[in-house]
Structure 1
Amino acid sequence: MSLKKGLRRAGRADNAAILTAVSKTQPWEVIRPVLEAGHRRFGENRVQEAMERWGPVKDQYPDLTLCLIGPLQSNKAAEAVGFFDVIESVDRDKIARAIADEIQKQGRAPEIQIQVNIGEEPQKAGILPLEADAFIAAARGYGLTISGLMCIPPVDGPRGPYFALLRKIAERNGIAHLSMGMSDDYETALRFGSNEIRVGTAIFGSR
């Protein structure tokens, strides 16, 4: 896959989006070559797994950006705030309050994104689209700066309408960053304004 080619085909500038390499569950021998090639932004699903994987090497790469893209439990909020640079999966009031409290305690503020369950699928995490505006306002009320929205659309059918909906939610809430698009739909996401694609299989291969 090529992010730049996808951006150009979408009629956008080469630097209009960033690539998060989804390293969750991948063995270190597969991740290391990507890191050594110069890539510095990685996505992880679980707090403990990420800390075990990246903790021993994190200080060696001061430009490393680690993103939590999986669901976060409130009892892991302290570790998540202390370890990650970006938390993309905020989707419940309890989590938003816990993160806000930890930011105050630790004096460290990772970027915060809200996950929207854009297809309203019961098996997926995320705030429902109709509840997104109120949740964004509540999170801001706790003192959180919301840098972006994230979604994972349904696997069946066209993805474009879901990406368009997330963009509309972001626009009316004054949010510029959209984390949407993965290995099989990133070019569609880029056409709908994605600023961040999360790609695992196309980089590391199947798990």
Structure 2
Amino acid sequence: MENAASRLAQVEGNIARICKPARREPEDVTLIAVSKTHPAERIVPLLEAGQRVFGENRVQEAQGKWPQLREEWPDVELHLIGQLQSNKAEDAVALFDCIHSLDRPSLLKALAKAMDKAGRRVPCFVQVNIGDEDQKGGCPIGEVQAFLEKVRAADIPLAGLMCIPPADTEPAPFFALLAKLARENGLDGLSMGMSGDYETAVQLGATHVRVGTALFGARQKP
């Protein structure tokens, strides 16, 4: 408990420290504790320390942990931050409060259908392939504007844009580019920044940072 509380306080303190020179308010940055691969017993100490927003990568893994945890902590907000297969759209809409990986027309169609069926609109970030990497998910930069129009037409609430910069490179230019794309398309939400670079992301306008290792310690192998 003490470890979890002190790690949480440190990350929140870092966010507040970065916000000051950037003339931002710390409460404008949502800290998402990335609990993927961590069992419920490792999540509980963070819940007890006051953290309420969590991120999971896989629908099936989240289904195994969160319904029970939410019985005790019903005010938890759960974000899907990993790639989503179209055939899991219904499950994702039922379980998550926000989806960060909307990136292609087939998934848009599946999510719109699932939301209509559930009578529930789940805010989505459009994931952008900011480094133009073949192996990564994300909407190509040149197609972002057209894809956003399709999302709006499908009546899916747009939370903003999300990206994962290329590994082992300076992330700042990629964060700045995502912020520019968001401004050009009238969006405020920016899901960017992880344990190693969330301070840079906050400096450049992140509204949501996805932090795992800095809160949980080294990740357990799935």
Which category describes the TM-score, using the shorter chain as reference length? over 0.9
Counterpart of 1:53 in structure 2 is: 65
Distance 1:34 1:84 in 2: 19
Distance 2:68 2:104 in 1: 31
Distance 2:119 2:41 in 1: 34
Q: 2:153 aligns with which of 141, 144, 152?
A: 141
| Shift of residue 65, structure 1, vs aligned partner | 0.3
Q: 1:177 aligns with which of 189, 205, 213?
A: 189
| Shift of residue 157, structure 1, vs aligned partner | 2.4
Give the % identical residues.
Answer: 49
Distance 1:202 1:41 in 2: 15
Structure with bigger helix share is 2
The amino acid across from 2:174 in the alignment is Y
**Secondary structure, in 3 states, of the residue corresponding to 1:161?**
helix
Distance 1:48 1:126 in 2: 21
Distance 1:31 1:61 in 2: 12
The amino acid across from 2:28 in the alignment is A
Counterpart of 1:187 in structure 2 is: 199
**Secondary structure, in 3 states, of the residue corresponding to 1:89?**
strand
Q: Normalising by structure 2, what TM-score?
A: 0.90
Distance 2:71 2:104 in 1: 31
Counterpart of 2:163 in structure 1 is: 151
Where do residues 106-117 of structure 1 align in structure 2 (5 Å cutoff)?
106-117=118-129
Q: Normalising by structure 1, what TM-score?
A: 0.96
| Shift of residue 104, structure 1, vs aligned partner | 1.0
Counterpart of 2:144 in structure 1 is: 132
Dislocated runs of 4+, deviation >3 Å: none
Contact map agreement 1:45 1:70 (CA 8 A) in 2: yes
Residue 17 of structure 2 corresponds to residue 5 of structure 1: yes
| Shift of residue 107, structure 1, vs aligned partner | 0.7
Distance 1:173 1:148 in 2: 9
Distance 2:110 2:98 in 1: 15
Stretches of structure 2 that go unaligned for 5 or more consecutive residues are 1-10
**Secondary structure, in 3 states, of the residue corresponding to 2:68?**
coil
Contact map agreement 2:79 2:99 (CA 8 A) in 1: yes
Counterpart of 1:25 in structure 2 is: 37
Distance 1:145 1:11 in 2: 28
Contact map agreement 2:101 2:127 (CA 8 A) in 1: yes
Distance 2:109 2:181 in 1: 22
Q: 2:98 aligns with which of 86, 101, 106?
A: 86
Counterpart of 2:55 in structure 1 is: 43
Residue 214 of structure 2 corresponds to residue 202 of structure 1: yes
The amino acid across from 1:56 in the alignment is Q
| Shift of residue 160, structure 1, vs aligned partner | 1.1
Stretches of structure 1 that go unaligned for 5 or more consecutive residues are none
**Secondary structure, in 3 states, of the residue corresponding to 1:15?**
helix
Range that drifts further, 146-155 or 5-14: 5-14
Contact map agreement 1:7 1:16 (CA 8 A) in 2: no
Over the residues paired in the alignment, what is the CA RMSD in angstroms? 1.2
